Amino acid sequence: MNHYRGILIKTFLIAAAGIFVAVPARGQDAKLDLGHLDALAAKASQVVEVTVDQKVINLALKFLSEKRSPDEAKIKEIIAGLKGVYVKSFEFEREGQYSMADIESIRNQLTTPAWAKIVGVTSKKDGQSVDVYLATTGDKVDGLVVIASEPKELTVVDIVGSIDPEKISELAGHYGMPKLDLIFHKKGKE
């Protein structure tokens, strides 16, 4: 799980820096309320919190130039639809510092018809779980949420914005972005 958590954190921190990705969102409707998780910070040995809102994204867009390189143009096009990236990650010294109620309060926000669970990985042996939810409106992706948990760690990533998933897959393997073949497939390459 640490491997997957590390990839998730790295991926979304890069996004937060404006270097890469965005996934679609129905405006701010796709932003989750993660405030209840703030109480876990006092129990955690390590806390990572990333809040990248529209203002920060707009600033990042100013640094990217279509004139410098085709890659920057592609990245700028992708993150232009991004509205926000929100990450909360907690690492604990011992098990039992967060509860299933903490996770369920997040999952309950994802029960509307716009959201669908697209990936669910659970290891009963290690107590690890990764769930990926996608919000859509018609054929547009509106948001992406990742909930990764294990006995001593909890990470939630909420990406809000609007983008074509195929464009994200074009960046896979570049700029520190891992390949997301489990989630996004290019046409004809499944």
Domains of the chain, by residue range, sit at 2-171
pLDDT at position 176? 45
pLDDT at position 81? 82
Residues in the chain predicted with pLDDT less than 70, given as ranges, are 1-30, 163-190
Cα four-point dihedral sign 18, 150, 134, 158: negative
Q: Report the C-alpha gap between 51 and 54 in whole angstroms.
A: 10
pLDDT at position 60? 81
Model's pTM, two decimal places?
Answer: 0.71
pLDDT at position 180? 46
pLDDT at position 62? 84
Confirm if 175 and 14 have CB atoms less than 8 A apart. yes
Edge-first strand order for the sheet with 46-52 is 46-52, 82-91, 153-163, 140-150, 128-137, 115-123
pLDDT at position 73? 79
pLDDT at position 163? 61
Query: Residues 57-65: contacts with CB within 8 Å, 24+ apart?
Result: 57/18, 57/82, 57/83, 57/84, 57/161, 59/18, 60/17, 60/18, 60/19, 61/18, 63/18, 64/18
Query: Which of 130-142 are b and which e, b meaning 16 or more Cβ less than 10 Å from the residue's Cβ?
Result: bbbbbbbeeeebb
